[in-house]
């Protein structure tokens, strides 16, 4: 079943076109890698889905319903989760508080969700009373992801979680994606690190200068010269 359907999306910043006729789908229970170099349009696509930028043309359907005209908070309540680039955790709040403020549910649901997050990110469970600024970069990224999962979204838009992380921590963070999907949340993962992203996703879409340059099964893309060319800007 198609959960997210983006059709012929156009986004401009003033006169600058950021997305030019981009179509992408994400199925329920699927992780899709959105690849591309700096400035290719990955963040813009995610912002259009959550409602932070307004498309000039095209359609975005979530679970068959058009998102056009809905505010970001309404989209979130429909089940669209968003973890923006740059792990914006609440630095002066504890790990536990960071998670709790992101849950709209009642007491029982909050307790269940926080348990689920600590099971998914054991490093956070061990540091739940620690202030977020005291966490390592990798732990902050896991907290940012955990926070965006607190309301059990049906889709998570995960923007460049490896930014600024060591290769080892990148593996650890991206390595959680199959568990997120197994927990019932489909993932659209924006990454510059193509090889690693394709390693944890079943499909991939490569953006280049605001257009889809290639797409297909993760294994096929990982072996493709075209993908290498797109990343090298050739």
- Beta partners for residue 88, in sequence order: none
From 36-44, 68-76, 110-118, 216-224, span contacting ligand ATP (CB under 6 A): 36-44
41 makes contact with ligand ATP (CB under 6 A):
yes
Task: Please count the other Cβ atoms lying within 10 Å of the Cβ belonging to residue 66.
Answer: 11
User: Binding residues for ligand ATP, how many (CB under 6 A)?
Assistant: 14
Q: 12 or 110: whose CB is closer to ligand ATP?
A: 12
Q: Minimal distance in Å, beta carbon 230 to ligand ATP?
A: 12
d(CA 222, CA 77) in angstroms, rounded, equals: 35
Phi-psi region of 23 (alpha: psi -120 to 50; beta: other; left: phi over 0): beta
Q: 120 or 173: whose CB is closer to ligand ATP?
A: 173
Under rule CB under 6 A, which residues in 127-186 are in contact with ligand ATP? 160
Backbone φ, ψ for residue 92 (5° rounding): -90, 5
40 makes contact with ligand ATP (CB under 6 A):
yes
Q: Are 32 and 187 in contact (CB under 8 A)?
A: yes
18 makes contact with ligand ATP (CB under 6 A):
yes
Element (H, E) at 162: none
Q: Please pick, from the candidates 1, 13, 64, 129, the single residue that binds ligand ATP as defined by CB under 6 A.
A: 13
Question: By rule CB under 6 A, what string of x and - marks binding of each residue 192-221 to ligand ATP?
Answer: x-----------------------------
List Cβ neighbours of 221 (8 Å cut-off, separation of 6 or more). 33, 35, 194, 198, 204, 206, 214, 215, 227
Which residues bind to ligand ATP, rule: CB under 6 A? 13, 16, 18, 36, 38-44, 85, 160, 192
């Amino acid at each position: 079943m198609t959960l997210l359907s983006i059709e012929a999306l156009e986004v401009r910043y003033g006169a600058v076109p950021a997305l030019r006729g981009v179509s992408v789908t994400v199925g329920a229970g699927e992780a899709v890698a959105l690849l591309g170099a700096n400035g290719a349009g990955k963040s813009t696509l995610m912002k259009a889905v959550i409602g932070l930028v307004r498309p000039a043309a095209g359609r975005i359907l979530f679970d068959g319903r058009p998102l056009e005209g809905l505010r970001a908070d309404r989209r979130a309540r429909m089940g669209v989760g968003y973890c923006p680039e740059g792990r914006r955790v609440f630095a002066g709040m504890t790990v536990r508080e960071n998670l709790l403020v992101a849950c709209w549910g009642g007491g029982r649901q909050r307790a269940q969700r926080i348990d689920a997050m600590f099971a998914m990110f054991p490093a956070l469970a061990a540091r739940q009373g620690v202030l977020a600024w005291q966490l390592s970069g990798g732990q902050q990224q896991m907290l940012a992801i955990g926070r965006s999962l607190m309301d059990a979204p049906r889709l998570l838009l995960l923007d460049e979680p490896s930014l600024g992380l060591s290769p080892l921590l990148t593996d650890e963070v991206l390595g959680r994606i199959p568990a997120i999907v197994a927990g019932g949340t489909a993932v659209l993962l924006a990454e510059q690190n193509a090889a690693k992203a394709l390693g944890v996703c079943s499909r991939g879409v490569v953006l280049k200068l605001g257009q889809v340059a290639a797409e297909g099964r993760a294994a096929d893309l990982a072996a493709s010269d075209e993908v290498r060319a797109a990343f090298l800007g050739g």
